[in-house]
């Protein structure tokens, strides 16, 4: 009994020291776990932010890459026929004027024109000119003005400093029997939107608009959805043939100048930045238009008119 009572045990001081050491280890472990969780959340937020940003950039690049300026080839052919017709008619008029001047200068005998040796040649020339004029009257198979009013090319490109509207070939047909075109209207612009998690918060967002029905106004209609929330920067510049530097706007409509009217740009520079969880992500990139399908430069017409042989 005395031997059992004489065995040593932990003193109160030893227990307090052990508890203090255990508390310190537990505190260090909890801090380490908390730091690891915060780092994981930060990395996950950064990954999500970069993924959202890359998806938006990829979508913008693809839309601009597929921009396409459709124009009716029939109108181009009719315009070419009209221009050639005018040149031929102008040449025939010059030919008639030259023949009349020759008749006046040769001095034919009004009482007996058959005695004039040049009268038969002039009559032949006049008859050939009349036949040429009659043939020229049948050159135009269509009325170009009426055709242009009936058939219009609504595809256009309207680019501003902070918004963009154009047509491209990014429309995906749902079924093989779908009669819809592969073209659609696409627009990017800044507009206010509310936070999805907290509707009380609102900020500037980048919106994308698509419209499968192409009409005369490429800036309206269709469906809109948010591409990026809390956008702080969205700037656009344009470059194309006939321009020596980047432009702040581009109009293929009647608002444009000679180098932009009826033409799409070759490239678009996009500067964009947005905030997520108080972290800023920004980028500047150039999206190239793969095939703008702009009208070719018209070369001087070398078609020889009858008047050039005089």
121-174 pLDDT, tens digit per residue, is 455 545 545 554 444 444 444 565 655 555 555 789 999 999 999 999 987 777
Whether 303 shows a pLDDT value over 90: the answer reads no
Return the sign of the alpha-carbon dihedral for residues 202, 205, 210, 216.
positive
Query: Do 218 and 100 share a structural domain?
Result: no
Whether 290 shows a pLDDT value over 80: the answer reads yes
Query: Do 242 and 171 share a structural domain?
Result: yes
Confirm if 268 and 64 have CB atoms less than 8 A apart: yes
Res 114: pLDDT: 47
Closest Cα partner for 170 from 215, 124, 210, 136?
A: 210
Res 144: pLDDT: 56
The mean per-residue pLDDT over the stretch 104-115 comes to: 50
Closest Cα partner for 170 from 292, 54, 65, 290?
A: 65
Closest Cα partner for 242 from 264, 268, 260, 221?
A: 260
Q: What is the pLDDT of residues 22-36, one digit of tens each?
A: 999 999 999 999 988
Residue 309's pLDDT band (boundaries 50, 70, 90)? very low
3-state secondary structure 164-225: EEEEECCCCCCCCCCCCCCCEEEEEEEEEEECCCCCCCEEEEEEEEEECCCCCCCCCCCEEE
Q: How many domains are contained in the chain?
A: 2
Query: Do 225 and 194 share a structural domain?
Result: yes
What is the chain's mean pLDDT, rounded?
79
Res 37: pLDDT: 87
Say if 90 falls within a structural domain.
yes
Residue 247's pLDDT band (boundaries 50, 70, 90)? very high
Say if 33 falls within a structural domain.
no
Lowest mean pLDDT of 17-21, 79-83, 132-136, 193-197, name the range.
132-136
Closest Cα partner for 72 from 245, 221, 295?
A: 295
Query: Do 133 and 159 share a structural domain?
Result: no
Query: Do 148 and 158 share a structural domain?
Result: no
Better-scored residue on pLDDT, 271 or 139? 271
Range from 2-6, 79-83, 200-204 that averages highest in pLDDT: 200-204
Better-scored residue on pLDDT, 112 or 260? 260
Query: Do 273 and 225 share a structural domain?
Result: yes
Whether 65 shows a pLDDT value over 50: the answer reads yes
β-pair partners for 233 = 273
Predicted model pTM: 0.66
Query: Do 181 and 64 share a structural domain?
Result: yes
Lowest mean pLDDT of 72-76, 96-100, 252-256, 293-297, name the range.
96-100
Query: Do 178 and 137 share a structural domain?
Result: no
Say if 178 falls within a structural domain.
yes
Centroid of chain to Cα 98: 52
Query: Do 170 and 272 share a structural domain?
Result: yes
Q: Which domain holds residue 179?
A: 53-69+154-288
Say if 167 falls within a structural domain.
yes
Q: Residues of the chain with pLDDT > 90: what percent? A: 42
Res 176: pLDDT: 72
Query: Do 284 and 178 share a structural domain?
Result: yes
Res 201: pLDDT: 87
Q: Residues of the chain with pLDDT > 70: what percent? A: 70
Say if 216 falls within a structural domain.
yes
β-pair partners for 280 = 275
Res 171: pLDDT: 79
């Amino acid at each position: 009994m005395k031997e059992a009572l004489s065995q040593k045990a932990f003193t109160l001081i030893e227990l307090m020291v052990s508890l203090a050491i255990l508390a310190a280890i537990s505190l260090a472990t909890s801090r380490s776990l908390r730091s690891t969780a915060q780092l994981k959340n930060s990395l996950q937020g950064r990954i999500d932010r970069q993924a959202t940003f890359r998806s938006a950039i990829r979508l913008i690049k693809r839309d601009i890459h597929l921009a396409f300026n459709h124009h009716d080839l029939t109108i181009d052919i009719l315009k070419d026929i009209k221009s050639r017709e005018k040149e031929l008619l102008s040449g025939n008029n010059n030919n008639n004027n030259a023949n009349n001047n020759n008749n006046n200068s040769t001095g034919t005998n009004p009482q007996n024109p058959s005695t004039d040796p040049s009268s038969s040649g002039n009559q032949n020339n006049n008859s050939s000119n009349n036949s040429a004029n009659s043939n020229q009257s049948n050159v135009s198979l269509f009325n170009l003005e009426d055709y242009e009013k009936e058939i219009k090319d609504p595809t256009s490109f309207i680019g501003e400093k902070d918004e963009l509207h154009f047509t491209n070939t990014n429309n995906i047909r749902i079924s093989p029997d779908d009669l819809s075109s592969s073209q659609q209207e696409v627009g990017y612009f800044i507009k206010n939107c509310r936070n999805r998690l907290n509707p009380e918060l609102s900020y500037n967002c980048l919106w994308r608009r698509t419209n499968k029905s192409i009409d005369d106004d490429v800036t309206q209609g269709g469906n809109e959805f948010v591409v990026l929330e809390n956008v702080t920067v969205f700037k656009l510049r344009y470059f194309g043939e006939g321009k020596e530097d980047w432009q702040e706007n581009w109009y293929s409509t009647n608002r444009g100048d000679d180098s932009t009217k009826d033409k799409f740009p070759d490239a678009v520079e996009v500067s964009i930045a947005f905030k997520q969880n108080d972290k800023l992500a920004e980028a500047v990139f150039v999206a190239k238009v793969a095939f703008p399908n702009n009208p070719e430069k018209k070369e001087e017409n070398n078609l020889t008119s009858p008047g050039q042989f005089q």
